[in-house]
Structure 1
């Protein structure tokens, strides 16, 4: 799919929720605009209380190339669109072109829909995704642009500062501490994409190769679906260690609407596709609730590959076996429960990261196990 098709290209103006389209005989606004080096892609829905800080930070970017701000307003009922329009002159004085569109339907269409619209109407050769409630530091566009030039097949992220400070402490630490290898090996954890969506930067060519975001609306993890498709195509995630984004935490954030069981199923399916399909058998490290839930979620083929559960809890180990009572198989599947020192790999680790005071990590190191070869985290 070409980013700027010659016919029926969506224009920046929308009326009554419907997109006006141009035929092949007239030049569209996107075609008239000069292509920018970087388009900042911003979906907006009822973000007026955060937009002033967000937009001011864009104006203060130290990037010297050409920039464009592409905003799609997804049925806001506050002053969001008015706030953005109020910044148009200041943006253009700074040399940043502005494209604003949206719809006024009774219900928002969702983050995936709004992002796709903002991308479609933009012109930049590179895309910098920006949430309307976050604040980019002055170096963000420049440093991610320079990295993307060197790594055209990579989805580029960056470190973050959490606001309020100390909120979601474990999650923030995970975002900022993953190694380059772990950006791949920890793609099955419950935290979502290892390069977090509010920090994404990539070429338009890469984005269009992966495909548009899912437009299923509220509850759909469009970022995780895109990230998994990116990995399927051999994409290489990267993260700059510099903390280039102030990542705001609040109860109205779209991430809170994602359905937990939807995320769980996506992760299980991706684990089976990418890891378990390559293994003849394996051990689930955790004989408790999460380990048993993973086992029950597996396909019958992969359930039969589970040679044991292992644990450190003597109460679980003394039971000796786990019987899958709900199974339709006869006899019902029975899986041994072992002490972790008696178990053999490879392992799927179903213990929460950063919750054992370092004991889990010490046990893995003592067994000389390598992440991505001998074990993967699923937690």
Structure 2
């Protein structure tokens, strides 16, 4: 059997509500009018609704049009990571286009991302997105769509997931093989973030097609809501302690409030000893000291002064969410003329 050029990888669990719109968007791809061979690989992860019936209907549709359509799956749900791996396993494409069943492709998505990936086999390729309903998660969408090429690798601790949104991923198969696939620890695991970090750690590149190529649908049943923010936070904290803080012999934490204190309290003893101060803009905090207490050991673990942000010496670990203060924080940060990644890292 001839190998495909591009495999669309679709994990699905109880997706009957979304299947038709998703498949229609794949059927409208401009790449189907080229010589590139496209196939669709679906893993039905223990669905109990009409998912299998609808998939088989679309399998007939695509097969009649010369597009391969493979379906695998199991009776018991194993989670998103296992479903993605299962779909990749039955695919043959040189390139992989990841697609969530509740999202909709724009007609040129596959062609434009394939064109980008063809010239960079070491990159995860993303795209800009639009949201449905319109204006849902506006801060998140603006952040993801406006990141510069440099920030794709710099702001990897500032959100609930990767700087390239998982539903937009496209890559050469070797990218997937190098990481070894997604972790299969079941529902609630941020398998995309773990894969993303492992890709970077293996020397992988990041690239984004700066066009809106996907309608990213927001709804309460999305798999992303099964992932606890606490778990993501711990994964991000672990990585920043392994990949950033070892290069700093001292640092200041920007935010003397709850988020900053929580971060400092959670640091390893070695990194805790590198913290020299908190900095802030709150006049009620500046000039005072913060004592962080360990309830287990029943003692103060560190006592730190709170200084004005203009007095802080880099490097800075910044624990402030972006785009929440009508631009005031961003203006304050810009006024310091610091270099992101060298003089400061965002952790929020």
Tell me the TM-score normalized by structure 2: 0.97
Other-structure match for 1:123: 92
Tell me how far 1:190 sits from its aligned partner.
2.7
Other-structure match for 2:345: 376
Matches of 1:120 and 1:341, distance apart in 2:
53
Other-structure match for 1:103: 74
Matches of 2:166 and 2:10, distance apart in 1:
12
Tell me how far 1:181 sits from its aligned partner.
0.7
Tell me how far 1:331 sits from its aligned partner.
6.4
Runs of 5+ in structure 1 lacking a partner? 1-32
Matches of 1:119 and 1:168, distance apart in 2:
30
Matches of 1:276 and 1:157, distance apart in 2:
28
**Offset from partner CA, 1:285-330 (integer Å, 9 cap, x none):** 0000000011111111111111110000011114x21111117497
Matches of 1:331 and 1:347, distance apart in 2:
23
Tell me how far 1:89 sits from its aligned partner.
2.5
**Offset from partner CA, 1:247-296 (integer Å, 9 cap, x none):** 00000000000022111100101111111111111110000000001111
Matches of 2:300 and 2:168, distance apart in 1:
50
Other-structure match for 1:5: none
Match runs of 1:44-55 below 5 Å: 44-55=12-23
SS in 2 for 1:284: strand
Match runs of 1:1-379 below 5 Å: 33-63=1-31, 64=34, 65-105=36-76, 108-318=77-287, 320-326=288-294, 328=297, 332-379=301-348
State the Cα RMSD in Å.
1.2
Asked whether the 8 Å contact 2:293–2:300 carries over to 1, the reply is no
Aligned length: 344
Asked whether the 8 Å contact 2:294–2:300 carries over to 1, the reply is no
Matches of 2:205 and 2:305, distance apart in 1:
38
Matches of 1:358 and 1:47, distance apart in 2:
39
SS in 2 for 1:191: coil
Asked whether the 8 Å contact 1:157–1:195 carries over to 2, the reply is yes
Asked whether the 8 Å contact 1:282–1:307 carries over to 2, the reply is yes
Matches of 1:103 and 1:249, distance apart in 2:
27
**Offset from partner CA, 1:233-260 (integer Å, 9 cap, x none):** 1111111110000100000000000022
Tell me how far 1:95 sits from its aligned partner.
2.4
Decide whether aligned partners of structure 1 residues 304 and 329 sit closer, same or farther in structure 2, where only a CA change above 3 A counts: farther
Other-structure match for 1:30: none
Asked whether the 8 Å contact 1:171–1:191 carries over to 2, the reply is no
Asked whether the 8 Å contact 2:291–2:300 carries over to 1, the reply is no
Matches of 1:329 and 1:49, distance apart in 2:
53
Asked whether the 8 Å contact 2:129–2:145 carries over to 1, the reply is yes
SS in 2 for 1:160: strand
